[in-house]
Amino acid sequence: MFKKEENNNFKDAETIIGPSVKVEGDFVGQGNMIIDGVIKGSVTTNGNLRVGDQAKITADVAAANGLVSGEIHGNVKIKGDLELTESAKIFGDIEAESLCIARGAILNGKCAMGSNGGKENKKLAAEKTENETEI
């Protein structure tokens, strides 16, 4: 998904957290972010997010699109496409429009996909439960 566009999506990165950097707190940005270090708190951007294979994030994460190769302990909310590479480890729930998981990636959590993040499925389940109780 990102392979061809990777350089275009991240060449104009507004924020880069290098491998030797450790950050605690809420991290908010408007542009593309590349994270290779350690973050504790929350990460939010309206741009694309790339999490490098050495990155360790203990935070809820939100972005337009995401490419994850590192480790995230927290919920991940992506408006568009999310790709987990073979070294990705996510311990939390995922909400994304589309999801690509490579062999070897670890995902321990719930996953909701689609334009409404699975909200339609929850609504249908609730309606089904209501209809069943009326019988």
Give DSSP secondary structure letters for 27-92: EEESS-EEE-SEEEEEEEESSEEEE-TT-EEEEEEEESEEEE-SEEES-EEESSEEEE-TT-EEES
Amino acid at 13: A
User: Could you tell me the residue ranges of all domains in the chain?
Assistant: 6-134
The CA distances from residue 78 to 4, 58, 116, 128, 129, in Å, are 20, 17, 11, 28, 29
pTM of the model as a whole: 0.78
126 C-beta neighbours (distance < 10 Å), count: 10
Percent of the chain with pLDDT over 90: 68
Show Cβ contacts of residue 24 under 8 Å, excluding neighbours closer than 6 positions: 39, 40, 41
pLDDT of residue 78: 97
Q: Which of 17-21, 51-55, 85-89, 101-105 has the lowest mean pLDDT?
A: 17-21
pLDDT of residue 11: 64
In terms of Cα–Cα distance, which of 29, 89, 32 is closest to 57?
89
pLDDT at 19 over 70: yes
Across the range 115-128, mean pLDDT stands at 55
